[in-house]
Amino acid sequence: MKILIAEDDAISRRLLQKTLENAGYEVLAVENGRLAQEELCRPDGPRLALLDWEMPEVDGPAVCRAVRGRAEKSYVYMIFLTSKESSEDKVEGLRSGADDYLTKPFHPEELKARLRTGLRILRLEDRLVEAREDMRFKATHDSLTGLWNRGVIMDLLERELARAGRERHCTAILLCDVDHFKRVNDTYGHPVGDEVLRELAKRLLASVRSYDYVGRYGGEEFLVVLNNCDPASSSGRAEQMRDAVSKREFITQRGPLTITISVGLLRSLDWGPLSAEQYLDQVDSALYAAKAAGRNRVRTAESPADGVLPVAAKRLEKVRSR
């Protein structure tokens, strides 16, 4: 654990540094409050600090207030080292944001014990942050594939469509469905089906840019959102995703499998301003057309000017099994 020492007296600073290095700490020693504040406010700055109260440029309480004023940063455990002994001084120091208070001269073993307390608190905070991030991940990601879940991918789609409308950009929406997935589950078992979905998720992610979105829409369906996409290249990119799935076998516990997907594609610029649900109705119809044409292919949702059948009429034609 890295610890910062802020002490203007060179001899005291050196003795303190040696004591802590012998105790196993990585020590960063500075001679004034300004440097202490700069180091502690860095994103990767020390999370333990020993601060002298009276220092050149910026005093200890001011350093504490600056560190506590940061937003969304890791907690820093700070201990004042000072000759001030009155209760009023201790209260002032603690109110400024210090966690502990040690009066000079102090015993090295007492200092080490107080630092161990600080370490326990920091480790507890790390566990709490880890638990919070784990809960956040589970609330936003699909548990099987690690992709965005349906709720999040829909929210991202709506935001991207709104942005594309304002900036007159094209958003390409792809709905991908695993061909004959029920047959995979029935023949090889659901664990193999899960392997297929996880590998498919990896291949789809590898086929898009870092700022595009991929989510599990439901079952064996995956929704891909290509942001600010060149309309002329959207079909080619959809074909690349299809090829990434079909041209390399999926290695499973039951042996290699050939897996294909059917893809429905929609370019937002081909349509008027619609809601995300309305766009998805149309791209779903395009996906159905790809299935009906023999699977393992891409079909693009035709714009209304091309005489596309109403979505409701197309839904009446759909077969139950894809």
CB of 46 closer than 8 Å to CB of 36: no
Take residue 205 and report the two structure tokens written for it: 């992610």
Catalytic residue from among 39, 195, 199, 220? 220
Take residue 226 and report the two structure tokens written for it: 């290509």
Q: Report residue 208 CA to chain centroid gap.
A: 17
Residue 47, Cβ neighbours under 10 Å: how many? Answer: 22
Buried b (16+ CB within 10 A) or exposed e, 123-151: eeeeeeeeeeeeeeeeeebbeebebbbee
- Cα–Cα distance, 281 to 16 (Å, whole number): 69
Query: HSE on the CB side for 198, CA within 13 Å?
Result: 11
Q: Report residue 280 CA to chain centroid gap.
A: 26
- Cα–Cα distance, 157 to 281 (Å, whole number): 14
Please say if 160 is a catalytic residue: no
Catalytic amino acids? Answer: 220
